[in-house]
Amino acid sequence: MTKLSKDPRLATEVVHAGEVRPHPHHALALPIFETATYTFENTADLRQFMDARMWGQAEGRVEYGRYGNPTVSAVEAKLSALQAAEAAILFSSGMAAVTTALLSLLYAGDHIVITDDSYRRTRQFCLTFLKRWQIESTVVASGDMEQLEAAIQSNTKVIVSESPTNPYLRVMDLKRLATIGEKHKVKTLIDSTFATPINQRPLEFGIDLVVDSATKYLGGHNDLLAGVVAGSESLMAMIRQNLWVLGAVCDPQTAYLIQRGLKTLSLRVTQQNQSAQKVAEFLEAESGVERVWYPGLRSHPDHDVARAQMEGYGGVVSFELNGDLETTSRFIDAVQLPLIASSLGGVETLIEQPALMSYYDLSSEEREEIGIRGNLVRLSVGIESADDLISDLAQAVRSL
């Protein structure tokens, strides 16, 4: 393992943490081990491995690719260090990460609490899919900690939320949430994709599990799909056993791309924090903008919480224009730098109208009921010049 100082800063950890050096053949870059299975020298070697595995002493060696890969393991070690976790597990997607984690914690007859501004597919999994196993869910308003605690029942096993949330960037009071979970003996799970470990490390506040869609900032280049769960060794061991059964493993090529993206994570996120703050301040001053949602603004309802627990406020800015769905569509079409796309966290600035991109299948009344108005825009700021982005947004909003 690369020797780091006692308390390395994150900018150092993203480059060196988790890597065992020297790499094979003294390669500087992490090797990609493209193999589906592993060989044994003879039957005695196989017996020795099987005996060691029975006693939990076969660390670093497996017999089949679904149970582990050296490239994947190296990236998991890096991600574990970045989240200040005892262990981390890579998955084939962010949804595979959150669903496998929840399936590992829940049994028929259990109950979960989830905040209303959580990712749509996560809410869909909790509210519809889990019902097949008689697992009920209660949805509570993001930021209403009294309502959240009141929703806990005797059979509640998990509280699920995001911080910041999507798309309104609500910031959960993580320390208070962890205290509520501990008080009621309920596990807490936070999706921290929008924050990344550069801006926020939920486990340090007492949260039990942190989930990231590595597709977003961790990979950073919109060229991979992956997810990660981090937490205690005991929880990770349980979740890993279920990963082996459900099979949503991360392949070595994808793991390599994640670790390559992680090397520049600190640089990218720092730039995106700064640019998003400038963009948010510009938009808030524009007469054509009704409201801006960004934790770095004092007008955001969770600004004080964000200031207390985050190092930076992230690269996503949501805002509502003065106008309706059609007016907002004209604005989207008028911008030149941002690309219309559904994801976030990459080097390119992306823009979307959630009413059309993520909630097109719902009626306007149904969208309004869950807080998705037609004039809502979500902007994922990349690493372009903030001044160029502001100039482009200015001409677009003033053209309406």
List the domain boundaries for the chain: 10-33+69-262, 266-398
**pLDDT at residue number 289:** 97
**By the 8 A CB rule, do 16 and 28 touch?**
no
Window from 20-24, 170-174, 239-243 with minimum mean pLDDT: 20-24
Window from 115-119, 226-230, 363-367 with minimum mean pLDDT: 363-367
First to last CA, the chain: 56
User: Is the pLDDT confidence value at 1 over 60?
Assistant: no
The arithmetic mean of pLDDT across residues 329-336, rounded, is 97
Annotate 171-213 with DSSP letters as a single string. Answer: ---HHHHHHHHHHHT-EEEEE-TTTHHHH--GGGGT-SEEEEE
Residue 103 makes CB contacts below 8 A (sequence gap 6+) with 242, 246
Whole-angstrom Cα distance, residue 286 to residue 319?
11
**pLDDT at residue number 334:** 97
Chain mean position to CA 58: 31
**By the 8 A CB rule, do 91 and 228 touch?**
yes
Three-state SS at 306: helix
**pLDDT at residue number 18:** 73
Model confidence at 4, pLDDT cuts 50, 70, 90, reads low
**pLDDT at residue number 15:** 78
- Taking only the tens place, the pLDDT of each residue in 258-307 is 999 999 999 999 999 999 999 999 999 999 999 999 999 999 999 999 99
Determine how many CB atoms are found less than 10 A away from the CB of residue 253: 12
**pLDDT at residue number 365:** 82
Would you state the structure tokens that stand for residue 63, as one six-digit string?
């017999």
User: Is the pLDDT confidence value at 134 over 60?
Assistant: yes
- CATH class label, 266-398: alpha beta
Candidates 110, 150, 164; CA nearest to 309 is 164
Annotate 48-114 with DSSP letters as a single string. Answer: HHHHHHHTT--TT--SBGGG--HHHHHHHHHHHHHTT-SEEEEESSHHHHHHHHHHHH--TT-EEEE
The arithmetic mean of pLDDT across residues 143-172, rounded, is 96
Phi, psi of 109 (to 5 degrees): 95, -5
User: Is the pLDDT confidence value at 6 over 60?
Assistant: no
User: Is the pLDDT confidence value at 230 over 60?
Assistant: yes
**pLDDT at residue number 5:** 54
The arithmetic mean of pLDDT across residues 8-26, rounded, is 77
The CATH architecture of the domain made up of 10-33+69-262 is 3-Layer(aba) Sandwich (3.40)
Which letter, b or e, does each residue of 180-205 get, where b requires 16 or more Cβ atoms within 10 Å of its Cβ? bbeeeebbbbbbbbbbbbbbbbbbbb
**By the 8 A CB rule, do 95 and 86 touch?**
no
Whole-angstrom Cα distance, residue 338 to residue 309?
30
- Taking only the tens place, the pLDDT of each residue in 90-104 is 999 999 999 999 999
**pLDDT at residue number 59:** 73
Q: Can you state the angle between helices 386-398 and 265-285, rounded to 10 degrees?
A: 30
